[in-house]
């Protein structure tokens, strides 16, 4: 048997706000995609080297660009979180007095 208040809606005032704002989520997703691309390229180069491909260095420039893209995405995210203060870590530090 279900409790009587099973249809009650949660008290919205006690709910925690989202950990990140929408922009932070988008920036974090872009950072994750950039990391994924870099890992993929490194894996492809490693496989080429393991297979004895003498032109495996063709990945070097692609890996360099992918690493730059990852760094840019990382710092865009970190800058946003620092300026906007929307990270749960930031809120926790503020609440604890640091």
In this predicted model, what pLDDT tens digit does every residue of 22-51 receive, in sequence order?
899 999 999 999 999 999 999 999 999 999
**Structural domains of the chain, count:** 1
Residue 10 located in a structural domain: no
C-alpha span between 12 and 10 (Å, rounded) = 6
Q: What is the reported pLDDT for 28?
A: 92
To the nearest whole percent, how much of the chain has pLDDT over 70?
A: 68
Domain interval for residue 25:
18-95
Average pLDDT over the chain reads 81
Residue 4 located in a structural domain: no
Q: What is the reported pLDDT for 82?
A: 87
* Burial environment of residue 67 by CB neighbours within 10 A (0 to 12, 13 to 18, 19 or more): middle
- Which has the higher per-residue pLDDT, 67 or 93? 67
CB atoms within 10 A of CB 51: 8
- Which has the higher per-residue pLDDT, 70 or 3? 70
Q: What is the pTM of this model?
A: 0.68
- Which has the higher per-residue pLDDT, 8 or 35? 35
Residue 24 located in a structural domain: yes
């Amino acid at each position: 048997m279900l409790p009587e208040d099973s249809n009650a809606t949660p008290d919205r005032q006690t709910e925690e706000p989202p950990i990140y704002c929408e922009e932070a989520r988008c920036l974090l997703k872009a950072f994750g995609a950039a990391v994924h691309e870099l890992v993929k390229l490194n894996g492809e180069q490693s496989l080429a080297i393991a297979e004895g491909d003498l032109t495996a260095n063709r990945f070097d420039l692609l890996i360099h660009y992918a690493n730059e893209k990852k760094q840019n995405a990382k710092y865009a995210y970190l800058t946003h979180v620092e300026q906007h203060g929307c990270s749960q870590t930031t809120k926790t530090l503020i609440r604890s007095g640091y």
